[in-house]
Structure 1
Amino acid sequence: MCEALKSQYQLCEEIGRGRFGTIFRCFHPISTDTFAVKLIDKSLLADSTDRHCLENEPKYMSLLSPHPNILQIFDVFEDDDVLSMVIELCQPLTLLDRIVAANGTSIPEVEAAGLMKQLLEAVAHCHRLGVAHRDVKPDNVLFGGGGDLKLADFGSAEWFGDGRRMSGVVGTPYYVAPEVLMGREYGEKVDVWSCGVILYIMLSGTPPFYGDSAAEIFEAVIRGNLRFPSRIFRNVSPAAKDLLRKMICRDPSNRISAEQALRHPWFLSAGDTVNVT
C-alpha cells in the first residue's frame, strides 16, 4: 500500500473485490469523513488493454467530477505496485442487484423513470464533456448514501470531444450497441443504446436481445429486432415504448441523444401512467 495513502487515510474493512483489486472503507482522521478506496494491484494487469483501463479510470473520473450522478473521485495515489483511488462511499447494492431482486418481474414505471432520468443525466454530462462511457450496464450503476444513482467504472471510457470517431469492440453482452459489434467506427450514442437496454429490462424483467451464448446474444443485437411482447408489456405505457424505440434504434444516425432522451414526454408523464390493455 502506498505510504502517502496511509499517511492521510485510515483503512477499515474490505467492502468489495474485483478482478484487479480490492475496495476498502477508509476514514480521513482530520475531516472525519468516510470514503471508499480502490486498491488496484498492477501485477494483475496482464496486457496493454488492462493498463490502458487503469490509466483511463482516474483520468476520466477527475474530468467528470463533481456531478450528482457520477461516482466522485477525491484522491489518487500511485507507486510501482499499486494504484489507489479514494472515491465516494456508496451503498453495497448496485442497479443489477435491484433488477435481480425483482426476480424477472418489472420495476414500477414511476421508479424506472426516476432511475433512468438520473442515468441519462450522468451520460449526458459525460457526452457534453466529450467522454463516452462505452460500458453502461446495471453492474456499473451504484447508489450514494442518499439513494441517488451514481454511474461508475470508467475504465473503458474514451474521448471523442474533438470530433474523432471511436473503434474497438468494448462493452458487455446484452448492452453493447450493434455498430460496435459490426466493427465500424462509432460515436457516443452507443451509451444511449445501453441505457435503452437497461430501461427495457427494468420495465419488462427481460433483455430485448438474448441467446444461450455471447455469440448468440451478439447476433440478436446486430439484427436489432426490437419487440414488445403483449404478455410482458401490457401494463407499460405507450410513451415508455416510444422512448425505447428511439433509444434502441439500430441506426445510430436516427437514435436520439442522451439530451434528447431527457426531454422525452415520458419523463413528465411517468408519474401519471395508467395500465394499458
Structure 2
Amino acid sequence: MSEELERDYEIGEEIGRGRFGVVRRCASRSSGDLYAVKSVDRSRLADDLDRGLAELEPKLAQLAAAGNPGVVQVHAVYEDEAWTHVVVAGDEYGEKADVWSAGVVLYVLLTGGALPFSGETASDVFAAVLRGSPRFPPRLFAGVSPLAKDLMRRMMCRDVSRRFSAEQVLRHPWIVSGGGAREAVQPT
C-alpha cells in the first residue's frame, strides 16, 4: 500500500478481487467517511493495452464522475512504484457503475483504443461525458453491428435508472449471439 494512502485512510476488509487487483473498504482518517479503494497491481498487467487502460482508468473515472451522480465518485488517486489506488465513494461502488465502466472498455476494445467521450480540451471531454451519449463515428464503427452499438448505448446511459444491469447486459442479443462484430444472422 502507498504510504500516503495509509496515512489518509484506514484500510479495511477485502470486498472484491479481480485479475489485476483488489477492492477493499476504507475510511477517511480525518472525517470517518466510508469509501472503497480499488488497488491495481501494475506489475501484473500483461500487455500494452492493459497498461494503457490501467493508466487511463483513474483519469476517465474522474472525468466521468464530475457532475454525474450515476457514476462512481473518485475521491483520490494514489500511485507508488507498482500500484495504482483509486479511492471511491463506498456507497456508490455498485453494479450500475461497473456496467458503465465495462461499456467504456467495450467501446475501447471495439475501436482499437478510441474513447467514447472525446474532445479537443478537457472541458470538451467533460461536456461529452455529461451528455452521456457516446458517438459512433463511421470510420471507427464501419464493421461494428447495430446490436453492439445498442449494447454500448445501454451500458453507458447517463440515467442510472435506465442503464442496463449486469444481468441485462448478459441477456442482450449481441452477447447471446456471441458478440460478433457484424450483426448475427438468425438461421431460418
Shorter-chain TM-score category? 0.5 to 0.7
**One of 216, 223, 237 as aligned partner of 2:183:** 223
Question: Does 1:72 pair with 2:70?
Answer: no
Post-superposition CA distance 1:67-89 (Å, at most 9, x none)? 11011101011011111110111
Distance 2:9 2:55 in 1: 22
**Which is greater in Rg?**
1
Separation in structure 1 between the aligned mates of residue 175 and residue 5 of structure 2, nearest angstrom: 44
Mapped to 1, the partners of 2:171 and 2:4 lie a distance apart of: 46
Q: Secondary structure at the match of 1:26?
A: strand
Asked if the contact 1:134/1:191 (under 8 Å) is kept, the reply is no
Whether 1:194 aligns to 2:152 is yes
1-side partners of 2:74 and 2:154: how far apart?
27
Show the counterpart of 1:89: 90
TM-score when normalising by structure 1: 0.44
Asked if 1:58 corresponds to 2:58, the answer is yes
Q: Which runs of 5+ in 1 are unaligned?
A: 96-118, 124-131, 137-155, 163-178, 227-277
**Distance change (3 Å), C-alpha of 1:157 and 1:91:** farther
Corresponding residue for residue 135 of structure 1: 106
Match of 1:101 in 2: none
> Offset at 1:44?
0.5
Encode CA deviations 1:230-262: one digit per residue, 9 max, x unaligned. xxxxxxxxxxxxxxxxxxxxxxxxxxxxxxxxx
Contact 2:36 2:93 in 1 (8 A): no
Q: How far 1:135 sits from its partner (Å)?
A: 2.9
- CA gap of 1:70–1:161, structure 2 versus 1, over 3 A, is same
2:34 is matched with which residue? 34
Secondary structure of residue in 2 paired with 1:218: coil
Contact persistence 2:74–2:87 (CA under 8 A):
yes
2:140 to 180, 185, 194: 185
Alignment check: 8 A CA contact 1:135 1:191 kept: no
Instruction: Give the secondary structure class of the aligned counterpart of 1:11.
Output: strand
Aligned to 2:21: 21
Per-residue CA deviation, residues 112-148 of structure 1 (Å, 9 max, x unaligned), is xxxxxxx9xx79xxxxxxxx82438xxxxxxxxxxxx
**1:207 alignment partner in structure 2:** 172
| Deviations 1:126-175, CA, capped at 9 Å, x for gaps | xxxxxx82438xxxxxxxxxxxxxxxxxxx7715324xxxxxxxxxxxxx
The one-letter code matched in structure 1 to 2:118 is F
Aligned to 1:160: 118
Residues 63 and 206 (structure 1), Cα distance of their counterparts in 2 relative to 1, 3 Å cut: closer
Give the match's secondary structure for 1:13: strand
Cα root mean square deviation, aligned: 3.8
Whether 1:43 aligns to 2:43 is yes
Q: Which amino acid aligns with 1:73?
A: V
Structure 1 CA distance for aligned equivalents of residues 10 and 185 of structure 2: 52
Q: Displacement of 1:185 after TM fit?
A: 1.0
Other structure's SS at 2:16 match: strand
In the alignment, the residues of structure 2 paired with residue 77 and residue 94 of structure 1 have an alpha-carbon distance, to the nearest angstrom, of: 24
TM-score (norm 2): 0.62
Which amino acid in the other structure matches residue 56 of structure 1? Answer: L
Q: For residue 217 of structure 1, give the secondary structure of its aligned residue in structure 2.
A: coil
* Structure 1 residue 42, shift from structure 2 partner: 1.3
